[in-house]
Structure 1
Amino acid sequence: MLELKIPPLLLFNIFAAAMLLPADYPIKLDNEGFWAGSLLIAIAMAIALSATMTFRRAKTTVNPCRFDNVNALVTSGVFGYSRNPMYLAMAIALLGVGLIVGTVVTAVLAAVGFVIYMTKFQILPEERLLAELFGAEYRRYCQQVRRWV
C-alpha cells in the first residue's frame, strides 16, 4: 500500500493554503508576481488536463490512491516528457500561487517541499507498484523519461 495517506490533490491544497493564509490582501493585480504566477497556473492546468485526457483515452484510472484499476502503462503525450505530469502540474501551480501571494522564496520553498514530500510518500511507492505490474516495460520507460522533468 502507498505510504501517502493524504490524497495528492488535498496535499496540494494544504501547501497552497499555507501560502495563502498569511498573504496580504487584497492581492495586487498590477505586479509582475501576479502575471507570472497566473501564467504558471495556466501552464499547470494545461499539463494536468492533457495528462488526465491521456489517462482517459487509455481507459485507466487517474486515482493515485487506488491501484486496483490500473490496466495500462501510459507513456504517450505529456507522459513522454515526465513520468508524473500531474504532480509536476501541482508543483508548477504552487510556484504560481507563491508568486501571486508572496515572494519567489515562498514559491520555491513550497514547490520544493511538495516535490520532496510527493517523491518520498507517493511517487516511489507508485514506482514500485508499477514495476511489479508492468516489469521490463516500465523499467525501460523509467530509463527513457525522467521522474519530474
Structure 2
Amino acid sequence: MHHVDVPPVWLLAFGLAAWTVARWDPLGLTFGGAWADLVAGLLIGGGLLLILVAVAQMRQARTAVLPRREASAFVTNGAFGRSRNPIYLGMALILLGWTLRLDQPLALPLLPLFMALIERRFIDPEEEALARRFPAAWTRYAQATRRWL
C-alpha cells in the first residue's frame, strides 16, 4: 500500500474528484469568464515550475526527494527559503489551477482537504524527522520559514 501512498497519487485522486464534481454539478455554477482559464494556466504552470525547481535543489544537495526517506542534507535556500514545503505547495497550486480550469466552484473545498491530508500524512512526519536529524538547524529554519507560504 505504501507504493500508492505518495503525494502525486493523492493529487491525482483529488484532481479526479474535482473533475467528478464538475461533471456532476446540478447547479451550473461557474467562475465566469476567460480570466479563470488564464489564472488556471498560470497556477498549473507555476506549480509545476515550483516542483521542478525544488526537486532540482534537493537532487543538487543529494538528499531524498521521496517521502519517508531519510534526508542526508537539509535544504533551506532557494524555493525552500520561502516555503518549508515547496513541492507540496506546487501540488496545491496545480489542484487550484485545475479547479479553475474545470470552471467548478463546488470543487474548491477539495483544496483545503488536500492540504490537510498532505500535512497529516507527509509534512508532519517529514518535519519531525528533520527536527530529529538536524535539531538546531530545524529550529531556526522552522521559526524563520512558513510551512506553506
Q: Shorter-chain-normalised TM-score: which range?
A: 0.7 to 0.9
Deviation digits for residues 99-134 of structure 1 (CA, Å, limit 9, x no counterpart): 01133452x312111111111221111111111111
Aligned-residue offset at 1:21: 3.0
Identity of aligned residues (%): 35
Q: Does 1:12 align with 2:15?
A: no
Matched residue of 2:39: which SS? helix
User: Size of the alignment, in residue pairs?
Assistant: 138
Query: Is the 1:7–1:65 contact (alpha carbons within 8 Å) kept by the matching residues of 2?
Result: no
Instruction: Report matched runs for 1:1-149 at 5 Å.
Output: 6-24=5-23, 31-67=34-70, 70-106=71-107, 108-149=108-149
Q: Distance in 1 between matches of 2:125 and 2:60?
A: 24
Report the CA distance between 1:82 and its aligned residue: 0.2
SS at match of 2:133: helix
Give RMSD over aligned pairs. Answer: 1.8
Tell me how far 1:81 sits from its aligned partner.
Answer: 0.3
Cα distance in 1, alignment partners of residues 103 and 112 from structure 2: 15
User: 1:79 is paired with a residue of what secondary structure?
Assistant: helix
Partner of 1:27: none
Report Cα offsets for 1:73-108 as digits up to 9, x if no partner.
Answer: 0001000000000000000100000001133452x3
Letter in 2 for 1:46: L
Q: Displacement, 1:66?
A: 2.1
Question: What TM-score, normalized by structure 1, do the two folds share?
Answer: 0.85
Q: Give, as a single letter, the amino acid of the residue that structure 2 aligns with 1:126.
A: E
Whether contact under 8 Å (1:48, 1:89) holds in the other structure is yes
Distance 1:8 1:78 in 2: 18
